[in-house]
């Protein structure tokens, strides 16, 4: 299955530049969440509800928007363009518990993480996540 090759680190067959920014954000949301969970877990073995509470503190629109502003100076031109495409995409969903500006910035950030993951730049995604991580 070619789809699983993407997960396992294979090159895959996805033409990342042809994907909509919302599709990139869809994948980036999952990438960002797994990275946040792993970073939370790195603080030690804890009850799952405590781990989940710590992860929820950084996996929300406000925290993601704040992360964007911390890593913005580090973004390449290409990453910045992906961010803007994601931020400006016309989503038919609305923010449930977030300010619309934060929601759009979070979508842009997720698009960047999705883009990096699907284009095989996983190390870069980790680099940016580490640079922006704050609990």
The residues assigned a catalytic role are 29
**Residue the block writes with tokens 């790195």:** 42
By residue count, the chain amounts to 135
Q: Are 86 and 110 in contact (CB under 8 A)?
A: yes
Handedness of CA 5, 71, 65, 88 (dihedral sign): negative
Write a three-state SS string for 88-109.
Answer: HCCCCCCCCCCCHHHHHHHHHH
Burial of residue 57, with CB atoms counted within 10 A of its CB: 0-12 exposed, 13-18 middle, 19 or more buried: middle
Measured between alpha carbons, how far is 83 from 75 in angstroms, rounded to an integer? Answer: 9
């Amino acid at each position: 299955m070619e789809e699983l090759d993407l997960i396992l680190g294979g090159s895959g067959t996805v033409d990342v530049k042809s994907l909509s920014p919302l599709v990139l954000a869809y994948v980036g949301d999952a990438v960002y969440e797994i990275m946040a969970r792993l970073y939370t877990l790195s603080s030690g073995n804890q009850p799952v509800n405590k781990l989940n509470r710590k992860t929820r503190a950084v996996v929300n629109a406000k925290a993601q928007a704040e992360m964007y502003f911390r890593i913005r100076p580090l973004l390449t031109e290409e990453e910045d363009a992906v961010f803007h495409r994601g931020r400006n995409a016309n989503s038919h969903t609305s923010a449930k518990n977030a300010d619309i500006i934060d929601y759009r910035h979070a979508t842009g950030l997720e698009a960047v993480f999705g883009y990096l993951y699907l284009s095989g730049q996983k190390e870069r995604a980790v680099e940016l996540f580490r640079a922006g991580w704050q609990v």
